[in-house]
Amino acid sequence: MKIKAAVCREAGALAIEEVELAEPKMGEILVKMVASGVCHTDAAARNLFIPAILPMVLGHEGVGIVESVGEGVTELAPGDKVIISFPYCGECDYCREGHPYACEDSFHLFFHGKYKDGTTRITGADGTEIGSLFGQGSFATYAVCDASSAVKVDVSVDELKALCSLGCGIQTGAGAVLNRMAPRPGTSLVVFGCGAVGIAAIMAGKIAGCSTIIGVDIVPSRLELALECGATHVINGKDFDDVPAEIRRICGGKGAHFALEASGVPALGLQMLDSMRREGLAVIVSVMGDQRMNVLIENQIMSPSVTLAGIVEGGSNPKVFIPELVRYYKEGRLPVEKLAKYFKFEDFEQAFEASHDGSVIKPILLF
């Protein structure tokens, strides 16, 4: 079928083209897109900060309505509302153990544009094969994805629009806290970078009952939103020479039990390590490209018995975790609508710019 899709053919460029989308194959579904979030990772792929293989339809936070299903799909049917999350092979040891975020094939399935069978689903007007980011390519009027990535949800179409980033950014931040850290009530959490991922972590810290939740950023409007979403304290990095000292002061002189790096700035990763309480758990979810973090292992990790961990997609099993997040949303405990600003599909450049300049936390394209 003919669809409209935003195709990246060279680094930095993105343009809407009319392209041909194949029918869903075995185990796949065709989704009529309702909305798609714009994640920082779309910008990273567009700029080849991540080595994506072009040409590619970007977008990986799609929500929509199932139009048709391929052979063998029984858990989804036409008319179902779905949130599309990340792809995974389903067959490696990690997938079989219920840890699809750690799938051996994830880098390939996320960034090389191909589906599990090694082929693409989109053909350009000039006959070129076009890949789909995250086996999804949600910046398009329709997309094909694997049924294992799509989660059926019982919400209105308006709610569905606000929930697109549950598929990636919100799941990443909330999952890092609820799945990886699993903080006990009364513990402290510090979050570096109050974008969609960081704010989701702050909301999750509140859900988990953390009694001290500190948001660090340099954009005042993001710090205000962090306070609205559950932070008990915020720190503007521009106002302090020694951010870790301020964090330790807030945390009763000892430092934080848990911390998340969601800014993508290596220097903040190091500040995070200096902010930890002994035996603390520091988690990195941000993309830092080929930049390095110059960790002083003995002082920052070994001697204080600190754990430094990384995790993809919040350590989530989307079929289990996304329904849990939708439940929190319905209870008013995950107010993701506060992060959203809507743009028409054709205004995607404005959406990217609004994310880049910090004025909008979660730009959402509507189809």
Ligand X SMILES: NC(=O)c1ccc[n+]([C@@H]2O[C@H](COP(=O)([O-])OP(=O)(O)OC[C@H]3O[C@@H](n4cnc5c(N)ncnc54)[C@H](O)[C@@H]3O)[C@@H](O)[C@H]2O)c1
Closest CB to ligand X among residues 30, 268: 268
**C-alpha gyration radius of the chain:** 20
Report the C-alpha gap between 274 and 262 in whole angstroms: 16
Q: Contact between 81 and ligand X (CB under 6 A)?
A: no
Q: How many helices (H) and strands (E) does the chain have?
A: 11, 18
Quick one: what does residue 34 bind among ligand X, Zn ion, none, with the CB cut-off 5 to 8 Å set by partner type? Answer: none
Closest CB to Zn ion among residues 89, 213: 89
Closest CB to ligand X among residues 146, 217: 217
> How far apart are the two ends of the chain, measured CA to CA in Å?
17
Q: Contact between 41 and Zn ion (CB under 5 A)?
A: yes
Quick one: what does residue 214 bind among Zn ion, ligand X, none, with the CB cut-off 5 to 8 Å set by partner type? Answer: none
Q: Contact between 106 and ligand X (CB under 6 A)?
A: no
Quick one: what does residue 188 bind among ligand X, Zn ion, none, with the CB cut-off 5 to 8 Å set by partner type? Answer: none
**Within positions 146 to 165, which residues make up the interface with ligand X, using CB under 6 A?**
none
Q: Which two tokens stand for residue 7?
A: 């195709």
Report the C-alpha gap between 146 and 59 in whole angstroms: 15
Residue 103 beta carbon to ligand X: minimum distance, rounded to whole angstroms: 12
* Shortest-Cβ-distance residue relative to ligand X: 195
State the DSSP string of 81-144: EEEE-----S-SHHHHTT-GGG-TTHHHHHHS---TTS--SEE-TTS-EEEEGGGT--SBSEEE
- Residue 166's contacts (CB-CB under 8 Å, 6 or more residues apart) are 83, 85, 322, 325, 326, 329, 336
Closest CB to ligand X among residues 196, 207: 196
Residue type present at position 184: R
Among 34, 89, 268, 273, binds Zn ion (CB under 5 A): 89
Q: Contact between 40 and ligand X (CB under 6 A)?
A: yes
Quick one: what does residue 35 bind among Zn ion, ligand X, none, with the CB cut-off 5 to 8 Å set by partner type? Answer: none
**Cis peptide before 185, with omega less than 30 degrees from 0?**
no
Residue 285 beta carbon to ligand X: minimum distance, rounded to whole angstroms: 4
Q: Contact between 190 and ligand X (CB under 6 A)?
A: no
224 C-beta neighbours (distance < 10 Å), count: 14
Quick one: what does residue 103 bind among ligand X, Zn ion, none, with the CB cut-off 5 to 8 Å set by partner type? Answer: Zn ion
**Within positions 213 to 232, which residues make up the interface with ligand X, using CB under 6 A?**
216-219, 222
91 C-beta neighbours (distance < 10 Å), count: 12
Closest CB to ligand X among residues 24, 113: 113
Q: Contact between 172 and ligand X (CB under 6 A)?
A: yes
Q: Contact between 313 and ligand X (CB under 6 A)?
A: yes
Binding mask 325-354 for ligand X (x = CB under 6 A): ------------------------------
Closest CB to Zn ion among residues 62, 237: 62
Which listed range, 27-35, 89-97, 262-270, 320-328, lies at the site for ligand X (CB under 6 A)?
262-270
Please check whether residue 262 is in contact with residue 254, taking contact to mean a CB–CB distance below 8 angstroms. no
Quick one: what does residue 210 bind among Zn ion, ligand X, none, with the CB cut-off 5 to 8 Å set by partner type? Answer: none
**Within positions 158 to 197, which residues make up the interface with Zn ion, using CB under 5 A?**
168
Q: Which two tokens stand for residue 311?
A: 């995790």
Please check whether residue 22 is in contact with residue 122, taking contact to mean a CB–CB distance below 8 angstroms. yes
State the DSSP string of 225-293: HHHHTT-SEEEEGGG-S-HHHHHHHHTTTT-EEEEEE-S--HHHHHHHHHTEEEEEEEEE-S--TT---
Please check whether residue 226 is in contact with residue 206, taking contact to mean a CB–CB distance below 8 angstroms. no
Quick one: what does residue 92 bind among Zn ion, ligand X, none, with the CB cut-off 5 to 8 Å set by partner type? Answer: Zn ion
Among 5, 31, 39, 268, binds Zn ion (CB under 5 A): 39
> Which residues sit at the interface with Zn ion, rule CB under 5 A?
39, 41, 88-89, 92, 95, 103, 168
Residues that bind ligand X (CB under 6 A): 39-41, 44, 168-169, 172, 193-198, 216-219, 222, 237, 262-265, 268, 285-287, 312-313, 358, 361
